[in-house]
Structure 1
């Protein structure tokens, strides 16, 4: 079984994920743009039981564009958002794909909130 580790910039907050993600999604919503400082965010959704978190984190909860709530966990030392819990899918945990720092990580299979996509931000979906 595949084991992957995501971590914050300073390395104190780590997330170990067992198995393959249930889905990898690219989100163009404005909140993901603000959270990442980029034009979109990419999340790997894993079953909650497949995710082990180690290290300290601070929480921030916000409404999602979908209308549900999202609870973000970020490193109190470096500020990296590493994982979050979408209330509309309580059985899943979302992990920032960039936190894995793995170019071989599976590509997004789904794109959401394309109405907020920057026109120059082209993306290719994986299989």
Structure 2
């Protein structure tokens, strides 16, 4: 895979460049991520904050996670597309929503978290790490 990879929200109001490979790609099966994705799980690419360059206006929303941490979300105020999540206590990392990338070939989760809340009909592939909750 060649970097940088371009990404954008659905309307194109927010664009970005992912400059380097993610630290890891995770599928989260918690009920909040099911709501977010309107599917069985949400995909997140853990990246260093300085490995992404954003353009365009984003709006922020925050909620408390089950761990007690704050889960912040940045999204396009026009189309509502989530761009990334963050924990204010970990300012050097962000949780990029990689389905927004122009090349999604790197979206191969190596871990599945919160499988205690996963949909019964989804079978997790062999060879990936599996966690009942957040590791």
TM-score (norm 2): 0.84
d(CA) in 2 for partners of 1:46 and 1:126?
22
Q: Which runs of 4+ in 1 moved over 3 A?
A: none
d(CA) in 1 for partners of 2:117 and 2:9?
27
Residue 88 (structure 1) shift: 5.2
Instruction: State whether structure 2 residue 46 is matched by structure 1 residue 45.
Output: yes
**Residue 96 (structure 1) aligns with:** 97
How many residue pairs end up in the alignment? Answer: 127
Q: Which runs of 5+ in 1 are unaligned?
A: none
Residues 107 and 126, structure 1, Cα contact 8 Å, conserved in 2: no
Note closer, same or farther for the CA distance 1:36–1:69 as it changes in structure 2 (3 Å cut): same
Residues 3 and 18, structure 1, Cα contact 8 Å, conserved in 2: yes
Note closer, same or farther for the CA distance 1:9–1:50 as it changes in structure 2 (3 Å cut): same
**Residue 65 (structure 1) aligns with:** 66
Q: Which runs of 5+ in 2 are unaligned?
A: 129-135
Residue 98 (structure 1) shift: 1.2
**Residue 131 (structure 2) aligns with:** none
TM-score (norm 1): 0.89
Q: Cα deviations across residues 71-107 of structure 1 (Å, max 9, x unaligned)?
A: 1011111010111112454321111121115341240
